[in-house]
A = this chain, B = another copy of it.
Amino acid sequence: MSPPFIANADVSPLIASSPPEIGRVSTVYSQVQAHRIDQPLPFPSVLKNPFKILDGPPTSAAGNPDEIAKLFPGLFGQPSARLAPSDSSSVQVNKKLKIGVVLSGGQAPGGHNVISGLFDYLQVHAKGSTLYGFKGGPAGIMKCKYVKLTGEFIYPYRNQGGFDMICSGRDKIETPEQFKQAEETAQKLDLDGLVVIGGDDSNTNACLLAENFSCFQIRSKNLKTRVIGCPKTIDGDLKCKEVPTSFGFDTACKIYSEMIGNVMVDARSTGKYYHFVRLMGRAASHITLECALQTHPNITIIGEEVAAKKLTLKNVTDYIVDVISKRSELGYNYGVVLIPEGLIDFIPEVQQLISELNEILAHDIIDEDGLWKKKLTTQSHHLFEFFPQAIQEQLLLERDPHGNVQVAKIETEKMLIQMVETELEKRRQEGAYNGGQFKGQSHFFGYEGRCGLPTNFDSTYCYALGYTAGALLQSGKTGLISSVGNLAAPVEDWTAGGTPLTSLMDVERRHGKFKPVIKKAMVELDGAPFKKFSALREQWGVENQYISPGPIQFVGPASNVINHTLLLELGAQA
Contact = CB atoms under 8 A, between A and B. Distances in A.
A548 B447 contact: no
B554 A28 contact: no
A275 B33 CA distance: 22
A549 interface: yes
B447 A275 contact: yes
A245 interface: no
Contact of A33 (B168, B545, B550): B550
A366 interface: no
**Number of copies of this kind of chain in the complex:** 2
A497 interface: no
Interface string A166-206: 01100000000000000000000000000000000000000
Nearest to A445: B448
B551 A30 contact: no
A431 interface: no
A269 B35 contact: no
Interface stretch (A87-95, A124-132, A259-267): A259-267
A207 to B, nearest CB: 25
Contacts of A107: 265-266, 269-270
Contacts of A259: 259, 448
A556 B556 contact: yes
B550 A447 contact: no
A163 B269 contact: yes
Given A32-B553, A35-B557, A167 B269 contact: yes
B263 A447 contact: yes
Interface stretch (A147-155, A449-457, A506-514): A449-457
A31 interface: yes
Q: How extensive is the interface on chain A, given as a class?
A: 35 or more
Interface in A5-55: 28-36
A258 B551 contact: yes
A143 to B, nearest CB: 15
A547 interface: yes
Given A31-B557, A448-B263, A555-B556, A36 B443 contact: no
Most chain B beta-carbon contacts within 10 A, residue among A263, A265, A294, A555: A265
A291 to B, nearest CB: 13
A572 interface: no
Nearest to A25: B545
Given A162-B265, A548-B33, A167 B448 contact: no
A558 B450 contact: no
A443 B447 contact: yes
A552 interface: yes
A56 interface: no
B451 A266 contact: yes
A162 to B, nearest CB: 4
Most chain B beta-carbon contacts within 10 A, residue among A160, A262, A556, A561: A262
A197 B167 CA distance: 48
Contacts of A136: 271
Interface in A427-485: 441, 443, 447-453
A548 B453 contact: yes
Contacts of A450: 262, 266
Contact of A549 (B30, B448, B548, B553): B30
A515 interface: no
A415 to B, nearest CB: 15
Contact of A545 (B28, B389, B553): B28
Nearest to A397: B389
A36 B32 CA distance: 19
A425 interface: no
A535 B136 CA distance: 33
B550 A453 contact: yes
B31 A561 contact: yes
A110 interface: no
A111 to B, nearest CB: 9
A383 B389 CA distance: 23
A500 interface: no
A33 B161 CA distance: 25
A390 interface: yes
A164 interface: yes
B547 A161 contact: no
Nearest to A261: B30
Contact of A555 (B36, B448, B555, B561): B555
Given A35-B557, A35-B558, A554-B553, A266 B29 contact: no
Most chain B beta-carbon contacts within 10 A, residue among A162, A443, A547: A162
A556 B447 CA distance: 27
Interface of A: 28-36, 107, 136, 160-164, 167-168, 255, 258-259, 261-263, 265-266, 268-271, 275, 294, 389-390, 393, 441, 443, 447-453, 545, 547-558, 561
* Closest A-B pairs by Cβ, 7 of them: A551-B551, A32-B550, A31-B558, A162-B265, A265-B451, A35-B557, A163-B269
18 contacts: A29-B548, A30-B548, A30-B550, A32-B549, A35-B556, A107-B265, A161-B265, A161-B548, A163-B270, A164-B268, A258-B551, A259-B259, A262-B447, A262-B448, A262-B449, A266-B450, A553-B553, A555-B557
